Amino acid sequence: MNKKVTVPELRARKRCGPKIAMLTAYDATMARLLDAGGGDVLLVGDSLGMVVQGRENTLPVTLEEICYHGRAVARGTRRAHLVGDMPFMSFQLSALHALESAGRMMKEGCFEAVKLEGGEQYAEHVRAIVGAGIPVMGHLGLLPQSVHAMGGFRVQGRDEVSAERLLRDARVLEEAGAYAIVLEGIPAELSRRVTESVGVPTIGIGAGPHCDGQVLVCYDFLGMYSEVRPKFVKRFAELGDAVVAATRGYVAEVQSGAFPSAEHSFGGSAPKPRPAEETGARPVVEEGPASYGPASDEPS
Ligand code: KIV
């Protein structure tokens, strides 16, 4: 097994490289694939509100939902560092509330770090969480949890005043103990300035090439999510088209009777289905991990 990616290693990547490749994940199967492909960091993002739950924004996502998906992703992850997004209203109220929520995410969500949106106004919150031994990843620029205040998902930091504020936020987050900072939806030149002015790695999404790493939503980079297609998304595969084509093939074969063929059927002359003990398939009422039944009718 490849060595587990840790917070100290991610910090060191800023100086020594290689760049950090982070992706979101929401379930064990996807996590297993992204981990096998060498993703350094898996984030259970509150983007799950949009790409998993089909909502318009991330605001309704709850701590319980993040933890549920965290446990699933943790089961599929061996090497990658696992980060959980602190959902809207799980950290804003006070430093103590932020610490309580972060603690629950570590205990109930199996996370190794938490991420929260915002800068200077949450410095004390970051300090409290870090003080309890929980690594914090910051998130600046386009903040999806502030979608209504921003008037939509808009590029931030375009003028000098907001660029300066963002630079200050980044320095304050570093000073409060954040070990990395996500920069979302800002001009490439601003992310270069931020990256050069902090000692912790920056991880960009829609922030150009100068960051110390990049992050994409897994369904975006796999070409599976078409509701929104931001300019910064590069599709590394077109799995959405592949899924639709596979489904058409399945429907056609079920309707024509071509599936299942003898190859996908169990032998034997008895016309009635055999009991579960004989086929090895688990009864659906049984407690425990889901099973799709045996791959063949050979005795196991
Ligand atoms: O929720 C999310 O997926 C995120 C990443 C896009 C950085 O915050």
Mutate to test the pocket of ligand 1, among 26, 40, 46, 218 (most ligand atoms within 8 A of CB): 46
> Strands, DSSP E only, in 126-194?
136-141, 180-184
Distance 169 CA to ligand 1 centre (A): 18
Ligand 1 neighbours (beta carbon < 6 A)? 24, 43, 45-47, 85, 182, 184, 205, 215, 217
Q: Can you tell me which atom of ligand 1 is nearest the CA of 22?
A: 7
CA of 2 to the centre of ligand 1 (A): 25
pLDDT on residue 299: 40
Q: Where are the domains of the chain?
A: 7-233, 239-295
* Active-site choice (9, 184, 227, 286): 184
Closest CA to 205 of 165, 233, 245: 233
**Residue 277 known to be catalytic:** no
Distance 215 CA to ligand 1 centre (A): 8
Nearest CA to ligand 1 atom 2: 45
By alpha-carbon position, which residue is closest to atom 4 of ligand 1? 45
How many C-beta atoms lie closer than 10 Å to residue 187's C-beta?
Answer: 17
Name the residue among 15, 19, 3 with its Cα closest to residue 200.
15
| Span from the CA of 214 to the centroid of ligand 1 (angstroms) | 11
Query: In this predicted structure, what is the pLDDT of residue 185?
Result: 98
State residue 285's pLDDT score. 46
Distance 58 CA to ligand 1 centre (A): 10
Residue 36 CA to ligand 1 centre (angstroms): 21
Q: What is the pLDDT of residue 269?
A: 63
What SS3 state is found at 38? coil
What is the position in ligand 1's atom list of the atom closest to the CA of 184?
7
- For residue 214, what is the enclosing H or E element? strand 213-216
Beta-carbon neighbour count of residue 189 at 10 Å?
12
Alpha carbon nearest to ligand 1 atom 5, residue: 45
Question: Which residue's CA is the nearest one to ligand 1's atom 3?
Answer: 45
Contact between residue 47 and residue 87 where contact means Cβ atoms under 8 Å apart: no
pLDDT in tens, the chain (300 residues): 589 999 999 999 999 999 999 999 999 999 999 999 999 999 999 999 999 999 999 999 999 999 999 999 999 999 999 999 999 999 999 999 999 999 999 999 999 999 999 999 999 999 999 999 999 999 999 999 999 999 999 999 999 999 999 999 999 999 999 999 999 999 999 999 999 999 999 999 999 999 999 999 999 999 998 877 889 999 999 999 999 999 999 999 999 999 999 999 998 765 565 555 555 555 544 444 444 544 544 443
Nearest to 33 by CA among 80, 81, 82: 80
Residue from 34, 42, 43, 111 whose mutation best tests the ligand 1 pocket (most atoms within 8 A of CB): 43
Atom of ligand 1 nearest to the CA of 203: 7
Backbone dihedral region of 65: left (phi > 0), alpha (psi from -120 to 50 degrees) or beta?
alpha
pLDDT at 226: 82
Rounded distance between C-alpha atoms, residue 200 and residue 198, angstroms: 6
pTM: 0.90
Residue nearest to atom 8 of ligand 1 (CA): 45
Which CATH entry fits the domain spanning 7-233: 1.10.287.3510, 3.30.470.20, 3.40.50.2300, 3.20.20.60? 3.20.20.60
